[in-house]
Structure formats: structure tokens, C-alpha cells
Amino acid sequence: MKGKNNTMKQIFIFLFTFAALASAGAVEIVKNGKAAAEIALPEKPVSSVKFAAEELQKHIRLMSGVQLPLTVEKAPRRLPNRIHVGYGAAPRSRERHAWRVKATAADLYLNGNDKEVSQYNLACPERTFVGWCVAGSGSLLSVYDFLDRELQFRWLRPGDGGIFCKRSENISVKPFDRESAPRLMTATFSYAKIGSANLWHDKKFAVHHSLQTKLWSIRHRFVNCNWFHTGHAFGDWWKRYGKKHPEYFALLHDGTRRPLKGDKRGIYITMCVSSPALMKQMVENYKQGYGPKGKFKEKDFISICENDTPGMCTCKGCRAWDMPEFDPSGADYWAKKLTPTRGTRFSGFGVDEGGSYSYTKNSLSDRYAKFWLETQKALSKINPKVTVMGYAYLNTVLPPRHVKLHSKIMVGYVGTPFFPLTREKMAQTRKEWDGWAKTGCVMQFRPNTTWSGGVYPLQYWRPLAAEYRRILQKPETKMAHFDTFRGEYANMGPMWYVLARLTARPDLTVEEVADEYFGSFGKAGPVIREYFDFWEKLSDSVTEEDVKKIRKELGWGINVWNNWDICVKLFTPAHFAQGAKILKKAEQIAATKWEKENVRFFQLGLEHARLAEITAEAHFKRAHNNTPANQADFDKKYKTLLEFRKRHERSWISNMGHLTAKEAGGFNRSVLKK
């Protein structure tokens, strides 16, 4: 018994000593409200490393109120602990953007694979951030990884007002060692850039808004691992080649090769994908390079995605590439040989993203899969590493029946449905994604889904996020691109946060991320959750039949930019009053300045949606009966909405300039000048 007691005593002493050493060995960053560590940089740091140090400084200051001093690598220590940014403890992986976060007894290393950017390949006003996102900014990502995992910072939305942390006068971390790299080859939101925000009243804030939006996505580790050439590939081809080489373009049923009526620029024309002449021109263009001033010479990845319209070529070569089961029924273009206009280019094919398809018998996926294979084969003779990208979109969204692909073919899947994201729709989209994966290709998640909702509190983030997380676990998933990122942070904040957060942390569940979001609002959090649950329950009650009924009632097709037709009829004054009542309860229990500011933030968003609904109702009333009285009523209500946006455009509840610009297709712009 005595020996046993001695053994237990030794174990206890060992554990106590180990715990004491671990505690003593913690890297103290801030202690009792004073700096306990300094941030050290290399002698000549690249620009992203300098910014990484600034971001670390800023976040530590937000958390503790303490500004950590900056120094350089070779300078003698002035404080007992040091944070090394951009050097030391390098990641073992040489992948672009790979990073390592390591803490020892008195040192914290935040280092990664970095590369300075040069000016020639920076093709937009946000060139600094864009360059870092591509060239290599591993040290910057290591800072965000540290702030996320060790200090539990949460970037709820762009701008300083969207940064959440638990304040403390003491910050320390125990020894650990972790390294990682981006899970995806690229992750992006199609956010509104500076040049498109032309209807802001405060132009300086417009620039700030755009840059902060980009920074917010970087904080969530949205980066590219190459200069990827993606998107619709042939938008300028009619302008460049239409007169001399009409054989590059689709042969329509009327025997012509031309743009559709109403398409003055020829950007919605489709290609004759079986044409040897088209292939020859593509190979020649590939040899010359692409991108700003032809400077993208790596050329390991290139888009051959069809333009934003269903495939239409009727020539013998293209038809020979179609599946043997091809049946024209279900699509007026094929069955009745009706050539559409620009405006009817979707309806003539029975296409509906994520809806009930009427073109399953006349899918062109086999045709385009062969086109992608033939192109990759031709370009691989120049560059054996080249990957080509095509879209699974419209009448190519279904997987091919007879063609197998390989890993040098990237498929951008655009079949994720618009609202409502019913169980039937989501089952269909899962079936399609998995079917493409079985062909052997690699894939990009490329939904248009997030256009739905406009300024309104339309909630569909749970089924969308659940499918995104499922896809992120798949080995074939290499890219993600959300078109679009509308900036409705007040009324659709949970969606934007959950999608961004899952991109960085797919190990978390959707509900864990939701808990992070609502838990960031302190005592007001449960009521803010109740507020969004209210709108989610209402949104979930909408069926496909409801949408059809609304369309018929208004005589107006689905407007994916704002969903006026759905939301105007879905959300009533009583619903807005109930939402305001819930937020009033949140206002009454909000305890801190942060909590009160965020309740006010959501209240402004709700008022914005209410005014937009009133304006849209007046718009539809005028559209159906354009009397002077109805026009005057619309003008008055739209002016009220615009005045609200002007007063609150710096509030971050919405991207006001981008939103107003998108309304140009529906609202009467002349009211802006009155």
C-alpha cells in the first residue's frame, strides 16, 4: 500500500508541476491592462505582412484597450514576450497562403507563405487587397486564424462596428503549434466594387464600404490560389469576330448566326461549340495570354463557360454531340423552333434554376461536356497542366448521361435554387451535384441563390448553408463563388455571416455558427434570434404554388435582383409591426453599448424594408394603372425611401449605392432628379 501511495503522490506532483509550467509558459500579450508583448517584423516585410501586424495591433486594442508596440526582428527585446509576424516557425507546406501559428514559452509566431505583389497584374481599384488575395498572404491569414481560434474574434459584418470580441485586460495563450492552408483553390463573393457604387451621396464612404467589404471577406480567409480566369467566356466575341467569323456562333432555327433580338452588344449569344474554326481561334487566343494587358501567362486555368443563356446551336455537328435520348418536347425552342429574344431566352427552354425542369429530355450537358474535353485536349498540347472550366447552368445543369470527365475539367455548378428552397428543390440540387461529381471532374459551388430577397428580411440561409457545408466536405469541391453579395447586413445578416464563416471553418455545424452570431449580441441575443426566427418561419411558409399565384396576380416575373413580386405580397404591415415589437423587447433588455447599437442596427434595417415595401406597392399600382395620381404617389414614396437611404447610408444596414443602381430596371429613375 505504501508503494502505491508513493506512486500516486509522484503522479500528482508531476501533474501539478506540468500544469504550473504550462501556466507559467503562457505567452502573455496583455497583462493587467498593459502591454506584455511586442510585435516584431522582418527588416523588409512585404506589404501584406505589414498589414498583418497592423490588424493584430488593432484587434488587440479593440479587445484590451492596449496598443502593442512594433519593433523589428533583430532589435533587442523591450518586453518579456514577442509576437513574430512574417518570419520564424515557417509552415512546412509550400502551398500558396499556407500559414502556421505557434506559441512557445515567451514567443508567438504568426507566419505564412507570402509574396509581394507587383503593379502590372493588379487590375482594379482595390488592387492592394486583391493582390494579397492571389499572390500569397499566409502571414495575414495566420493572424486571422489566431484571432479566430485563440481569441474568439467574430467578424459579423464589414466595418469596425461588425467586429465582436470579449473585452479583457489580460490576454495570454498557452504553448501550441498549428498550421494549415486554404481548403479551396478560391473563395469569393461577387461584391459591389467601387466603380459600380455610383449612386452614393458620400463618395468617400462608397470607397470605404467597398474596401471594408473586401477586407471582411479576407478576414474570413476568402483568397485565390492563382490568377483564375473564370465566368462567362465569350461575352465580347461577337464584337471581336462576328462580322468575319459568324461560323464561331450558334446556328439558330431560322438559319442565321447572330445575337438575339434586343441583345445589341451580343453578350448573350451562344457558340457553335463543335466548330473546328472556333477551336482554332480559342487555341490561338490561349497562346497569347489573357487578363489585363495579356499579362496572365501561367494559363494553368481558363474559362470556356458559355454566355449567360441556354445553349442554342442547331448545326449537325453540335446535334451529333447530344445524347441519343434527346427529345425536343418540353422546350419551345426545340419543339416549336421558336427563336427567343434576349428577354425570353430562358422561358423558351423551360429552365428554372432549382425548380421543376421541363427540359430533362433535351439537356445539352453531353454536348458541352464533349466541348470541354476537346478544348482541354487541344490546350494541353501547349500546357499539359491546363484545367478548363465550364458551367452546369440552365440547359446544361443536369449531369451528362454518356460522357465521363476528368480532374482537368472544372464544372461550375449553378443549379442551386432560388427562393423558396423547398425540400424537393434541395433534393434535386444534391442529386445534380453528386451526379456531376461521379463524372470525375472537379467542381465550383457557384449559386445565384443569394440574389433572392432584395432589402427584405427573407430568410433562407439554413437550407443554403446546410447544402454549402455538405459540399465543402466533398473532395471534388475546389472553388466557391457566390453571385451576388448584396450587402443586406441588417435584414439578412445571418446568411452572410454563416456562409463566410463556413468557408473558413467548415468543421463547424450550421447551428454552431448561428449560435456564434446570435451569441455575439449579449443579453439581447436571444431576442434577436427570436426576431429572425419570426421572419424565417414566415419565409418557410412560402410554397412554389404561392410564388406562381403571386406572379399571376402581379403579372410580373420573378425579379431576382430584389424579389419585389414575392416580398411585396409576402410581407404585410402587420408583419413589420410584429418585427418592430420583437426588436422593441430587445431594446429594453440590451445592457451594453454594443448590444444597444446592434438592436438599433436591426431596427434601421427593418424600417428600410418597410419603406421599400411601401414604395414597391406603389410601383406595382402605377405599373398596372399609370394615372397621374398613382405616379405622384409613387414619386412621393420613393423620395421618402431615398431620403432614408441618404440619412443612413453610413450605417452599414445595406449597400445603398449598389441597391439603388439595381432598381434602375424597375423604378422610374426620373424621380431621382426631382
**Cell representation of residue 45:** 516585410
Tell me how far apart the alpha carbons of residues 425 and 205 are, in angstroms, rounded to a whole number. Answer: 40
Contact 485, 220 (CB under 8 A): no
Residue pointed to by grid coordinates 459591389: 192
Q: Are 199 and 110 in contact (CB under 8 A)?
A: no
What b-and-e string marks burial along 174-184, b requiring 16 or more CB atoms within 10 Å of the CB?
eeeeebbbbbb
Looking at residue 69, the DSSP 8-state letter turns out to be P
Nearest Cα to 206, choosing from 665, 674, 652, 672? 652
**Percent of the chain at pLDDT exceeding 70:** 88
Please write the tens of the pLDDT for every residue from 650-666.
Answer: 999 999 887 877 776 66
Beta-sheet pairing, 387-392 with 409-413: parallel
**DSSP state string for 370-426:** HHHHHHHHHHHTT-TT-EEEEEE-GGG-SPPSS----TTEEEEE--PPPSS--HHHH
Check whether 9 has a pLDDT greater than 80. Answer: no
Instruction: Report residue 16's pLDDT band, with 50, 70 and 90 as the boundaries.
Output: very low
Q: At what angle do helices 203-219 and 138-149 cross, to 10 degrees?
A: 80
What pLDDT does 665 receive? Answer: 61
Instruction: Average the pLDDT over each of 53-62, 491-500, 566-575 and give the range with the smallest value.
Output: 566-575
C-alpha cell at 90: 515557417
Cell numbers representing residue 431 in the block: 442529386
Higher pLDDT, 658 or 220: 220
b/e per residue, 289-324, with b = 16+ CB within 10 A?
A: ebeeeeebebbebbbbbbbbbbbbbbbeebeebbbe
Which distant-in-sequence residues (6+ apart) come within 8 Å of 518 by Cβ? 494, 525, 526, 528, 529, 532
The pLDDT score that the predictor gives to residue 291 is 52
CA–CA gap between residue 577 and residue 352 (Å, rounded): 34
In the chain, the largest separation of any two C-alpha atoms, in whole Å, equals 102
pLDDT at 10: 40
Helix extents (H) in 228-330: 237-241, 276-288, 316-320
Answer yes or no: are the C-beta atoms of 192 and 662 closer than 8 Å: no
B/e letters for 4-33, b = 16+ CB within 10 Å, e = fewer, are eeeeeeeeeeeeeeeeeeeeeeebbbbbee
Indicate the CATH number for domain 23-219. Answer: 3.30.379.10
Q: What is the mean pLDDT of residues 263-287?
A: 95
Q: At what angle do helices 525-540 and 510-519 cross, to 10 degrees?
A: 130
By C-alpha distance, which of 532, 420, 492 is closest to 655? 492
Cis previous bond, 76, omega within 30: no
Cα 452 from Cα 468, distance rounded (Å):
17
Q: What is the mean pLDDT of residues 631-650?
A: 94
Q: Which H/E stretch holds residue 658? A: helix 656-662
> What is the model's pLDDT at position 18?
34
Nearest residue to 519 via CA among 154, 220, 151, 61: 154
Interval 542-566 mean pLDDT: 71
| DSSP at 441 | -
- Alpha carbon of residue 239 to chain centroid: 30
CA atoms of 397 and 33, how far apart (whole Å): 57
Contact in structure between 495 and 465 (CB atoms under 8 Å) = yes
**d(C-alpha 527, C-alpha 521), whole Å:** 9
Which residue's C-alpha cell is 493584430? 56
Beta bridge partner(s), residue 189: 482
CA distances from 534 to 53, 55, 583 (A): 42, 37, 11
Mean pLDDT of 537-565: 75
Residues sharing a CB contact under 8 Å with residue 196, sequence separation 6 or more, in sequence order: 657, 658, 661
Task: Please state the φ and ψ torsions of residue 71, each to the nearest 5 degrees.
Answer: -145, -175
- Whether the per-residue pLDDT at 135 is higher than 90: the answer is no
Candidates 561, 566, 564; CA nearest to 550 is: 566
Over the stretch 235-250, which tens digit does the pLDDT of each residue have? 999 999 999 999 999 9
pLDDT score of 347: 78
How far, in Å, CA of 164 to CA of 148, rounded?
A: 11
- Which 8-state DSSP code applies to residue 331? -
pLDDT at residue 4, rounded to an integer: 43
From the list 566, 522, 532, 493, the residue with the least C-alpha distance to 216 is 493
Residue 255 pLDDT more than 60?
yes
The dihedrals phi and psi of 57, each to the nearest 5 degrees, come to: -55, -50
- Cβ(268)–Cβ(260) under 8 Å? yes
| Cell numbers that stand for 394 in this block | 440552365
Cell 497583462 maps to which residue? 31
Q: Does position 7 have pLDDT exceeding 90, yes or no?
A: no
pLDDT at 85 exceeding the cut of 50? yes
Per-residue pLDDT, 138: 97
Residue 673: pLDDT above 50?
A: no
Q: 355-400 pLDDT, tens per residue?
A: 555 567 899 999 999 999 999 999 999 989 999 999 999 999 999 9
The answer to whether the beta carbons of residues 250 and 312 sit under 8 Å apart is yes
Sorted by where each begins, the domain ranges of the chain are 23-219, 229-385, 523-673
Mean pLDDT, the chain, rounded, equals 88
Q: Mean per-residue pLDDT for 331-335?
A: 90
Judged against a pLDDT cut of 60, whether residue 568 lies above it is answered with: yes
DSSP-based three-state secondary structure for 322: coil
CB atoms within 10 A of CB 412: 19
C-alpha 331/C-alpha 334 separation (Å) is 6
Beta bridge partners of 101: 110, 178
Residues 6+ apart with CB under 8 A from 602: 490, 493, 528, 531, 583, 586
Q: What is the pLDDT of residue 567?
A: 84
Among residues 118, 38, 129, which one has the least CA distance to residue 85? 38
- Tens-digit pLDDT profile for residues 594-608: 999 999 999 999 999
d(CA 386, CA 287): 12
Exposure string of 502-533, with b = 16+ CB inside 10 Å and e = fewer, is bbbbbebebeebbebbbebbbebbebbbebbe
**Among candidate residues 464, 479, 478, 562, the one with its CA nearest the CA of residue 514:** 464
